[in-house]
C-alpha cells in the first residue's frame, strides 16, 4: 500500500483529504505542523507529502526546505497547499506541485497519482 503524509493544521481539511485518499487505496499519515511531519518522516517514508503553507510551529515552506536539505528525503515529492498563492516563496525550495485552496478533489487525486508514478520511474 502506498503511503502519503498530509500535514495541515486545519482538521477539516485533513479529514477530507484522508477520506478521499484512503478511498483511493492510499495509507495516510497525518501531522498538524511541519515539525510533526518531519518526525513522521523518520518513522515511515511516504511516497509523497501534501503540506499546507501556513502552520504553527514549523511552516510548510520550512518543512520543504529541511526535507530537500536531507538526502534521505530530498526525492520525496512535496505538494504545497495554500490559500494565499502570493505568499509562496520559491527560494531554497522546489515544490513538486502547488494546490491552491480551496482545491478540487479530483485535482488532488490526479496530482498525487502523477507525482507518485513520476517519482517511482526515476
The tens digit of pLDDT for each residue in 12-66 reads 999 999 999 999 999 999 999 999 999 999 999 999 999 999 899 999 999 999 9
- Determine the CATH number of domain 3-120: 3.40.50.2300
- What is the model's pTM? 0.92
Cis peptide before 102, with omega less than 30 degrees from 0?
yes
Q: Tell me the average pLDDT across 113-118.
A: 90
Angle at 36 between CA 114 and CA 122, to 5 degrees: 30
Which pLDDT band, with edges at 50, 70 and 90, does 86 fall under? low
Residues 57, 34 contacting (CB under 8 angstroms): yes
What sign does the dihedral 35-37-43-49 (CA atoms) show?
negative
Amino acid at each position: 500500500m502506498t503511503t502519503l503524509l498530509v500535514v495541515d493544521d486545519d482538521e477539516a481539511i485533513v479529514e477530507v483529504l484522508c477520506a478521499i485518499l484512503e478511498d483511493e487505496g492510499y495509507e495516510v499519515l497525518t501531522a498538524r505542523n511541519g515539525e510533526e511531519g518531519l518526525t513522521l518522516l523518520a518513522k515511515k517514508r511516504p511516497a509523497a507529502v501534501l503540506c499546507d503553507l501556513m502552520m504553527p510551529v514549523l511552516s510548510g515552506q520550512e518543512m520543504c526546505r529541511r526535507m530537500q536539505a536531507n538526502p534521505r528525503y530530498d526525492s520525496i515529492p512535496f505538494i504545497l497547499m495554500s490559500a494565499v498563492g502570493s505568499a509562496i516563496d520559491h527560494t531554497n525550495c522546489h515544490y513538486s506541485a502547488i494546490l491552491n485552496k480551496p482545491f478540487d478533489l479530483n485535482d488532488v487525486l490526479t496530482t498525487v497519482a502523477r507525482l507518485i508514478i513520476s517519482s517511482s520511474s526515476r
